[in-house]
Structures are given as C-alpha cells and as structure tokens.
Structure 1
Amino acid sequence: MLVTSRRLSCLATQFGRAWVSSEPTRRPPPARPHWMERVESPPVNLSDTHPNQHDMHSDPRREIIGNRDVLREGYDPETIRHRAAEIDALSTLLSPTKVGGITETALLYGPPGSGKTCTTTAVLEEIENEHGVPTVAVNCWDDHTKSRVLYSVLKSLVGQTAYDQERTAASTLLDAVKDAIDEPTIIFLDEADKLVDEGVLRDLYEIEPVRLLLAGNDRHRVVGNLEHRVYSRIGTAQDVEFEKYHDGQLVEILEDRLTAAKVKPDIVSDEALAGIADAGSRDARKAIATLRNALDIVVLEGADEVTGPIIERAEQKAEQDIAHARISSLTASQTLVLKVLFDIGASTSGTIYDEYEQRIDDPAVDRTVRGWLTTKFPQYNLVTIREEENPQEYELTDAARAILE
C-alpha cells in the first residue's frame, strides 16, 4: 500500500485520507481523494560526501544519480508506503473535529526504522495546514534534558527568543512555554524514551491546552518509569504500534527511492535490490543507508552494477554510519558506559557498572545503566547480549567498536 504525504494536498476523509492498492486494476473508494494515489517517490540518504558546488557538473556521480538530495539522511519522502493504517489511526486521534477533540495523549512505539517519524511528521503537517492547529516537534535524541526540551518547544512556538538554552532555568522556560500557548497545541516528542528527566512529560501534560504525542521504540521505556501520579494520566495514553517492515515492503520503498533519485538503469538489479532489503533486517533506515553506500561504492570504484560483495561492504558501512550518529547523540554518561565496554571487553552488568562508577563524579544509578545495557544499546545495535553466559554478559557490536576506536 502506498500513501502520499504532506506535499500532496490533503490527508483523509476528515483530512482527505485515501487508500490505494498497489494493484493497478483496483480503484480507490470514491470518497477518498488523491493524497494516497500512486506516485513516483524519493529515497533517503545516499552519501555523506556531497561534491562542492563548483564541482557538481564534473562529478561523475551525476551521470549515475540524477537527484542525490532524496538519498540524504533525514529526507522526508513524498510518499509513505505501507503505513496507511497507522496514518488513519493518528489522523483520528489528532483530529480536532472528532467528538472530544484532539486526544490528550497518544503514544507511538515500534522498532527503529519502522517509519514512526516520517509518518507522524506528515500527519502533523496536514493537521496544521488543514485545521490551523499549532504543532511542535522535538527530537529527544538530541534534546534529552528538561531544559533542552522546553527551549526547543519555546523556540518552535515563538521563533527567536532572548532566553539562553544552557543558562536559563527550566522553571523559567516552562513559564515562557505556558505563556506562549493559548490554544490546543500538539507537542510531538520523538524518541521520548531517550529523555533523562521524564518530569518534563508531567510539566507539559499539565499545561491545559497541550496535547502530547510521544514516540519511542518500546512503550515501557517511554512511560514505565514515570512516577505514579504522572503514569496514571500519561501511562494510559492511546497507542499506535508500528511493526517492522517485511522484505517485500522494503523492496518497494527502495524502488521508490531509486526512481526519485533518477539512478541510471541497470545499476541496481532486482536481485541486488532484494539483497539490500535483506541486509536492512526489516529496518528501513538501515536498508536505505545500505543502498546509499552501495551506490557510492559503484561510483567511486567505477563498477558496472551493485553486486553481492558490494552489498556486504555497504551494509557494514551503513551499520557504522548509524552507530556513529547514535553514539554522537548519547549523553556523556551513556557514552562513558560504552567506552568502559570498549576498554574491558565483554562483561557482566555489575562489572561494567563498577568500572563506570569509578570514572565519573555523578554516576547514574545501577538500575538506569542496566536499562541502557539490556534495552537501549541493543535496540540501536551498539551492544549485544551474550545470553549463553551465566550471568549474561554484554559486549560492543563491531559497528560500535569501529566508531570508538
């Protein structure tokens, strides 16, 4: 199923929503307009190395790839495949026209690379455009403290602000956010399970016009550690689950990206595309990064096409690229835990914590570090768990080790 997003005009029956079959003989229901019609769509992320402006016309890559922009990290695609049900659910929860208005709190969860961010971004932009509802998006992977979240929310609401992000007290920023909100406003906290102070959820929830939208990889990691009085309200949020893509779905996503990038025909065969999807391990972000790196190798080495060995190298590079991005966004305390693992090798959580505690003045509690080791780091392919050991041990993945070396 193919779903076109925000650059096409409307979203659902309440926002112009429509279903489209991938079979050309099936026609969409007449009540659903064109925003889900089949169109040629773009890919994410191709290369971190863009040629300088003056070299663009002489760069041989332009002969193979017509539009590199659609392959870059963070590109928002024109079309969203295989997420129609999730879009319908989000559109209903966030509709200001439904009985009761916009849902007070909603929670999206699912593994990395399952389309949570791009799907939600598309729905929010449609709601803002069609209904004039203010929306704010904060990436808690980058802004993981209370002050950084509140500053990001404030800046999104009012534009430039005289407050200093690092020096202004969180209480002052919270008061400024309250003053800036005088109508129902949707605040989307992406990667909410990366927050180091869940108290900001309570602070935002208690602002009467705020409607909270939280996204994370694991539901429990987002709301499981909230204090009881906060959990009693936020912990009962409406859920929208995003499941992993299947290989066939990833192939279609990659096909869209190849088409939008105007990649020269015959560079990526159907067999190679299936291999790239398989390398993605049902993670769209990894699959797209693998495609990007495979095309880079073809260009830089003058190969005729993407081959199996090229895919293997591209997958390894993709894992390192993703690991680098994730490690660079960790807190200093989280990064130190990884450095401890790098230095001492595979170890139990107790051994890791003892060494970590000796290296830092204000350590996180043992329970928090154990949570990073058992959930957060494995989810992001930074740590593997050796369950065959008793007690179980933790060690860095090859990708994480390559970055920390």
Structure 2
Amino acid sequence: MITDARVLRTGFVPREVEHRDAEVTHLTEILAPLTNGEPADTTLLLGPSGVGKTCLAKYTAEQLRQEVLDVEYQYVNCWQNFSEFRTIYRILEGLGKTVDIHRQSTPRDELFERLRQYDGSPCVVILDEVDQLEDKRLLYHLHELSHFSMLLIANRERDLFATAGERLTSRLTGSERVRFDRYSAGELISILNARAKWGLEEGVISDSQLETIADAAGGDARVALSILRTAARQAQRQNLTEITDEVVEAAIPEARVERHEKDLETLTHHQRTLYQIIEEHEAISPSDLYEKYEQRVDDPKTNRTVRNYLSKMDQYDVIEAAGTSRDRTYRSVSESFEHIE
C-alpha cells in the first residue's frame, strides 16, 4: 500500500510546494542577489506550526542551489541545537569544516573563527525554531559575515525578540519578512492528495477521507500528514487493500498521540522539567511553576527565558495555557490522550 514512505513524512520536501506560490516568489526575490555573488538580506519566516515555513525555506534554497552551482545551504534546528556551540558546529559540519574539532574541548571562539575564515561558496543558513537559541548573539555575529545569508524561522516575531539584546533587535528589525497563514481545508486536501499520489498505491484512499483528515487537522499540515501516515500504516498492517473510514477515524487520535510524543522528545532538559511539574498539577500558576522549577534544576534559567519556553510549548500543544497574563495557568494536555490505548 505504501510505495514511498518518505513522501508521507512531515520533513519531506516535495518537488513542488503546494499553495505557497506568493511566499516562494517573495523568498526567491529576497535570495536573488546570491545569483550575482552578493549576500541576501536576513529574512524572518513567521507563522504558526504546520504552515510550510521549513518546507518552503529548504525548497527555495535547493532551487537556488540548482540554479547557482557555487551556492550552499545549511539547515539547523535550534530546538535540538539550542546552544551557540551546537548551532555553529552544525553549520561547520555541513560545510565540512569540523574534521579536527573536538566537541568537548574546542573553545567557542575557535568555532567563530572558523566561520569568519570560511571562504567557500556563499551559504544560506536556515535556522529553524530560532527563538529557541539560548544565546542569540550568534545571530548578530552571523549577520556580520558576508558569506552567510540567514533565513530565520519562528512562530511569532515577539518570541524571537523577547530574549534578543538591543543591538541584535536593531539589526533584525530591518529584516525582510515572509508571513504564513494557516492552510484552508481545501489547501490541505490538495497537499494530502499530492502526497498520497506519490506515496501510496493508486485509489487506496478516497477524496472524502482526505477531507475528513483535513478537517481534523485544523489547518496544520504536520497534523494532517501524521494522520495520513498513521492511517496508511495501520491499513497496511491489517493487510487491507484500501484505507477504510474506520481506519481513518482511528488514526486521528492515534496520530495526535504520536505527534505529542515526538514533540516531547524534542524538549530540552529544562523544558522537560517544566513539563513534568505541569503534569503533576491539575493547573499551576507561572509563579508557582517557576518556584518549583528552581528547586529541581541546578542551573535555572531566568524567568523571562522560562516564559519563552512555555510559550513555545503552548504553541506546539505540548501544554495548554489558559487565562490572561494576570491569571494565567498551565495545564497538561496528556489527559485528552488517556482514553487511547
């Protein structure tokens, strides 16, 4: 039933990006100076999760690399690589400049120096979840290096600037911006149909089933693809010749659980500690949460950084924030999954 599992993964970059023509055109125009050997402006790609920001950034950078032989691009997810060292290391690793770097002992300044000395092809650096960088001064330094052009991906601009210094904020304020809205149900159906065409046998899923998946996803392509993948996997395990309505209905909550577990795996030590505390309480206020957090970790982050963590976790439905800033409480979302075995 599944002919190409890669196509059903959320990280897959298709040959054509569906329903983002205006955004592709805008970003292509921003990166156009690279075709003449000049750096491109730093660009912010902004919008909620599951709207195609990462896919479009990779797609456009790859199209540019096919057009201009001497242009590179490097992708780093700053949620997993949240420290300055790890982010720089990933960039240098992609450029083949880490052969003699020891991850435990190489000074940070030496990594910076390697970035400064890089004299290869112009490079587009895609920093995903960039608001999760612990020390955003890295962005200031990269901004100064003419060989590197930055695409910075975040859900909300204010989260990126919340922990940025005044110097960096003044630099990023003038950046280009590409904004993304949620997909409509019709657009999600079109995206799902294209993935099904390339990843599944012909005719195994109906238009009405794709519509059901799109409606359940609420404009989030990550969720929609997770449901499609789960449904196809379950049908294949049951040796069915097609995906049934029952399989689709069962896949919707199962995909949500799988998505939730994968998001939990991405949490840093500090974020996981916050999550565990929230799970232990029916609801907890920010002040009580921070107090308990301080007691559990040896090197607590600032209150401001913790608020940034919680905002990000709420955006990805890892936790649920309720109320205004004055009476806000945090709750676990895991209770909604308890009925699913």
Q: TM-score, normalised by structure 2?
A: 0.91
Q: Which amino acid aligns with 2:123?
A: T
Matches within 5 A, 1:144-155: 144-155=82-93
Q: Highest relative contact order (Cα 8 Å, sep 6+), 1 or 2?
A: 2
Classify 1:107/1:274 alpha carbon distance in 2 versus 1 (closer, same or farther; 3 Å).
same
For the aligned residue pairs, the C-alpha RMSD in angstroms reads 2.4
- Does the 8 Å CA contact 2:162/2:308 hold for their aligned counterparts? no
SS of the equivalent of 2:95 reads helix
- Does the 8 Å CA contact 1:324/1:400 hold for their aligned counterparts? no
Is 1:163 aligned with 2:101?
yes
- Does the 8 Å CA contact 2:78/2:133 hold for their aligned counterparts? yes
Q: Distance in 2 between matches of 1:326 and 1:68?
A: 20
Is 1:203 aligned with 2:132?
no
SS of the equivalent of 2:6 reads helix
Q: Distance in 2 between matches of 1:104 and 1:69?
A: 32
* Residue equivalent to 2:322: 386
Matches within 5 A, 1:348-359: 348-359=285-296
- Cα deviation for residue 289 of structure 1 reads 0.5
Structure of larger gyration radius:
1
Identity over aligned pairs, percent: 30
Structure 2 residue corresponding to 1:217, chosen from 117, 131, 155: 155
- Does the 8 Å CA contact 1:293/1:318 hold for their aligned counterparts? yes
Q: Distance in 1 between matches of 2:132 and 2:34?
A: 32
Structure 2: runs of 5+ lacking an equivalent? none
Classify 1:264/1:98 alpha carbon distance in 2 versus 1 (closer, same or farther; 3 Å).
closer
* Residue equivalent to 2:8: 71
Q: Distance in 1 between matches of 2:249 and 2:283?
A: 26
Name segments (4+ residues, structure 1) moved above 6 Å: 97-100, 399-402
* Residue equivalent to 2:116: 178
- Does the 8 Å CA contact 1:319/1:399 hold for their aligned counterparts? no
1:17-38 alpha-carbon deviations (Å, 9 max, x no partner): xxxxxxxxxxxxxxxxxxxxxx
Q: Which amino acid aligns with 2:334?
A: D
Q: Distance in 2 between matches of 1:98 and 1:299?
A: 46
* Residue equivalent to 1:135: 73
Q: Distance in 2 between matches of 1:276 and 1:345?
A: 31
- Does the 8 Å CA contact 1:108/1:116 hold for their aligned counterparts? yes
Higher mean C-alpha deviation, range 123-132 or range 381-390 = 381-390
Q: Distance in 2 between matches of 1:401 and 1:167?
A: 43
* Residue equivalent to 1:311: 248
Q: Distance in 1 between matches of 2:121 and 2:200?
A: 44
Q: Distance in 1 between matches of 2:326 and 2:130?
A: 33
Structure 1 residue corresponding to 2:265, chosen from 321, 328, 352: 328
Q: Distance in 2 between matches of 1:91 and 1:165?
A: 35
Matches within 5 A, 1:95-134: 95-96=32-33, 101-131=38-68, 132-134=70-72
Classify 1:141/1:348 alpha carbon distance in 2 versus 1 (closer, same or farther; 3 Å).
same
Classify 1:400/1:107 alpha carbon distance in 2 versus 1 (closer, same or farther; 3 Å).
farther
Structure 1: runs of 5+ lacking an equivalent? 1-63
- Cα deviation for residue 111 of structure 1 reads 1.0
SS of the equivalent of 1:95 reads helix
SS of the equivalent of 2:196 reads helix
